[in-house]
Amino acid sequence: MRRAVPLTALLAAVLLTAGCASTYETAAASDPAPPAAEELSGEVTVFAAASLTASFDDLIAAFTAEHPGVQIVPGYDGSSTLATQIIEGAQVDVFASADEANMQKVVDAGLAADPQLFATNTLTLIVPTGNPGGVTGIESLADDALTVVLCAPAVPCGTASEQLLAASGVRASADSFEQNVSAVLTKVATGEADAGLVYVTDAALAAGAVETVEAAGADAVVNRYPVVVLDDAPNAAAAEAFVAFVRGPSGQAVLADHGFGAP
């Protein structure tokens, strides 16, 4: 039995899909300026895809430094889970999805309109440090002798994984399907799995606990991330300001530092 990497050492590193032609707008220079800092206050609830955890923690810190009267409460999980919670009545100000399909569910439910794109992401193949399973590429995911973990098909990283595997002609021998990308990353990083597909941004966070193996064709499967203020947002003014910050120059710089692509 291989030794698992201590979880306490990973929790700091492991903080914690495929797109079609976009129907949403990208960041625009003509966006209206957000309200002045002294005009904003109160709590803002932000639901964001699990793959955004580290970047949104930094975005929230930067935004609240400029707007000290605002308290942002984030909730991170798979985009499909978050969309379902919103549709079922969760009181949320902002929703940031890892794909357009789950965002569209919220729009179709009449709860939001005009989502805006703010980032892109792609997949990579990860293995535990030292690559004990001898994974050589995407084709290795078909090996029954390996423990393979993937995102569930309903979540964006799962949809992206399915598209990448189909394009590669590979039928993965998956041992488990996880509800968000953070769970896939954790299982590989702790040695519970020999290989998995995650976003490049997540793999970078766990450097030292995981290694990446080239996954041919991954750069052609692009996830586009939309964000929106919910129509019944309890704190619409502060929510709009936060979205403007995410899509503006300062927010885009933070996202780029975390490895996200431009929208």
Domain residue spans of the chain? 7-14+121-220, 37-120+224-257
The pTM of this model reads 0.83
CATH number of 37-120+224-257: 3.40.190.10
pLDDT of residue 39: 84
Per residue, the 3-state secondary structure of 177-232, as one string, reads EECCHHHHHHHHHCCCCCEEEEEHHHHHHCECCEEEECCCCHHHCEEEEEEEECCC
Q: 236-247 and 53-66 are packed helices; what angle lies between their axes, rounded to 10 degrees? A: 120
Q: 156-168 and 100-108 are packed helices; what angle lies between their axes, rounded to 10 degrees? A: 130
Residues of the chain with confidence (pLDDT) below 50: 1-21, 27-32
Instruction: Report the distance separating Cα 11 and Cα 129, nearest Å.
Output: 16
pLDDT of residue 35: 54
Instruction: Report the distance separating Cα 198 and Cα 192, nearest Å.
Output: 15
pLDDT of residue 164: 97
pLDDT of residue 239: 98
Asked whether this chain's domains 7-14+121-220 and 37-120+224-257 adopt the same fold, the reply is: yes
pLDDT of residue 32: 47
Cα angle: 6, vertex 203, 144; to 5 degrees? 80
Q: Which fold has domain 7-14+121-220?
A: D-Maltodextrin-Binding Protein; domain 2 (3.40.190)
